[in-house]
Amino acid sequence: MTNCVLCKDELKIEDGQLIWRGDDCRVILVNDPDLPGFCRVIWNRHVAEMTDLTYGERDHLMALVFAVEEAVRQVMHPDKVNIAALGNMVPHIHWHVIPRFKDDAFFPGSIWSNKTQDTSLATLDARRKKAQDLPAAIKAAIAALS
């Protein structure tokens, strides 16, 4: 599909850091100033729905999502982790793994809702510093799957 932003060169299109890339999937640390530690697990091939994948591909993808969630929890120590595969705007399988904190800008709503509060700059800076440890933790969690 030529107009899908997730099918194009991810280093130019996606707003974030490529952490890991395998034959089927990649993991991006999203550059979101309000949500340090937000990651996406993206299926490389253009597929719109989970049921379009084989059972083995589904298992592989979800194992990666759970490995990323585990690393996010270990590094970021969030109050909650949101895992979502909405794909309404981009019909290409991708999972959001989002550390949530009671004082984040959108809590208790979704990250796509209106901001409900301001997070202090010091708190955001501390979370951004923690998020710098995510690439190594995610790579280790994925390596442990083998």
pLDDT in tens, 27-84: 999 999 999 999 999 999 999 999 999 999 999 999 999 999 999 999 999 999 999 9
What is the CATH classification number for the domain harbouring 63? 3.30.428.10
Q: Is residue 126 part of a domain?
A: yes
Residue 84 tokens, joined: 């979502």
Show the domain range for 99.
10-143
Q: Is residue 4 part of a domain?
A: no
In this predicted structure, the answer to whether residue 4 has a pLDDT above a threshold of 90 is no
**Residue range 18-27: mean pLDDT, rounded:** 95
Q: Is residue 57 part of a domain?
A: yes
Q: Is residue 123 part of a domain?
A: yes
Q: Is residue 3 part of a domain?
A: no
- pLDDT at residue 15 in the model: 77
Whole-model pTM over 0.85? yes
Q: Is residue 5 part of a domain?
A: no
Q: Is residue 61 part of a domain?
A: yes
Q: Is residue 1 part of a domain?
A: no
